[in-house]
Every structure is written in C-alpha cells, then in structure tokens.
Amino acid sequence: MEKEKEKERRESRFVIPASEVEEQSLSSLVSSFESLARTPISNFRVAAVGLGASGRVFVGVNVEFPGLPFHHTIHAEQFLLANMFLHAETALRSFAVSAAPCGHCRQFLQELRCAPDVRILITSDPEPTFTPLSHFLARHFGPHHLLPHTEPLLLEPRHNALALALNPNPNPNPSSLALEALEAANRSHAPYSACPSGVAVLDSKGGVFKGSYIESAAYNPSLGPVQAALVGFICGGGGDYSEIVEAVLVEKDDALIKQDHSARLLLHSLSPHCLFHTFLATSTQ
C-alpha cells in the first residue's frame, strides 16, 4: 500500500487528475513544468501540457543524452504522448507547449486518429490561441495513407499476440522483468513494420518502468522502446540514470527492424553497469 502511495505521489508531477484543470488553464502550467526537462546539451527547456479525453492532464518535457546521436533525443510532444500511452489515455484533445512543435513532432502527432482536430497553443506566441494541428501540417502524410481504417492507431487498444520464444543461451529464463517487457511489446504501436517491441527497466529501489515502441508512418520520428521506458522512469520519479540496474528488451525473432543494438547503446551509455537481456518473441496468431 505504501509503495502504491509513493508511486502516485511521484507520478503526480506528470499526471494531473481530471477536473483539476481545464483547457483554458493549460498555458499557465507550461512554465512551471519546464524545469523538469533534461537538456544538458541545448539548455533549451520545453514543456507540453495536454488534456486527454478522460479529463486528465499530462505533462511532457524534452530529454537529451550527452555522448549519443541526436536521434536518441525525446521531444516534449513525444514524451507527452508516451506518458498518455503509459497511463492508458484514449485521446489527446489539446495541449499547450513552450515553443512551436518541430516538423518531427507534427509528424509524430499524426499517429492519433483525432490528429487534425488536436488543438495547440504556443505560449511563446505574442497572442497565444488554440489552433488545430491541421493548420501546422496542412498537407500531411499519415496512417490513413498506409493502413486500413480499422487498424488501431496510437492510444487505441491493441494487443500484438506475442509470446516469449524458447530462447537459447546465454539468455536466462524469463523473469518478471521479461514478462513486463513482453506486456509492453504486446501494446507496442508498430503497424508499419509489424515489428513491435517493449522494454522494462528495474531501478535500484525495486521500481519497474516499461515502455513500448511507438512507430510513425514517416519512420524516423518513431520513439524507441528504451526512450518510452525512460519516460516511465522519469514520470515515476527516477533521478540519475545510473539508478537503472537491469533492463529487458522483447522483440520478434523474425523482425525486419531490430532494437537490440540501439537499446544496448543507449542504456549502457546512461548506466554502464546495467544488466541487459534480450528475449525473442513469436506471434501466436
């Protein structure tokens, strides 16, 4: 019970319960959350505060990793959607953000079925006002160009029907952490490659944080499973990345795109002594 209360207390900085905030108040919250950004390279802090269909408010911030290529960076809007994904929010209605979303994030937001109608307010504008995403990316490319209308999109329920395969040595037997990573892989939004994956990390205090690979129709804006797990770690009150002591990746054995090398690079850069295991999974369908 005490652990659950502590978890809720730590997460309260990144998730605000329904009825406490209305859309008109989102802009006033942005500056107060910018300090949560982790920007040791640019020192340019961005916060995005979004209103979900449930009435809950979610926070996203930008995160940078020194010593690694920029494509490992987590943008504030990506963090926002990953945070909503982790907390089973079903739709994004509107959000306020410190600066205009970059093209990368405007594309990432297209993974939402409601994307054209998502309302955005840029607090740094001279006269901030909510404007539909369709205004920022008028001739957009997205899921409707590649997927059938019935395909679940980002934030919609999905189960990829994966099961752990019989892994040869040196992989250990499946642990509870591997099962958490499998659950994350089964929720992964990867309709373009059909290569879902998930990561679960364990910190030195016994906390478990997981993240699912989130794919973009444009490929490059996709959010890796380690980055998604780090969103969970940060939202859960994680401090220095060296607190992460173990991590498990689950991905398909016949995947056309592999996360293993990139995941190892990122985690070992952040926490050199972190134990890392990859488990392969097969489709049960």
User: 144 pLDDT exceeds 50?
Assistant: yes
State yes or no: is 77 an active-site residue: yes
Q: Which tens digits make up the pLDDT trace of 36-46?
A: 999 999 999 99
Output the known binding site for Zn(2+): 75, 102, 105
* List of residues 6+ apart from 39 with CB closer than 8 A: 45, 62, 63, 64
Identify the active-site residue in 77, 111, 246, 251: 77
101, 106, 112, 116 alpha-carbon torsion, rounded to 10°: 100
Assign 258 to helix, strand or coil: coil
Q: Which tens digits make up the pLDDT trace of 85-143?
A: 999 999 999 999 999 999 999 999 999 999 999 999 999 999 999 999 999 987 889 99
Mean pLDDT, the chain, whole residue set: 93
Q: How many CA atoms lie within 13 A of 41 on its CB side?
A: 12
Q: Which helix (H) or strand (E) holds 11?
A: helix 2-11
Output the known binding site for substrate: 62-64
Least confident of 19-28, 53-62, 94-103: 19-28
User: 172 pLDDT exceeds 70?
Assistant: no
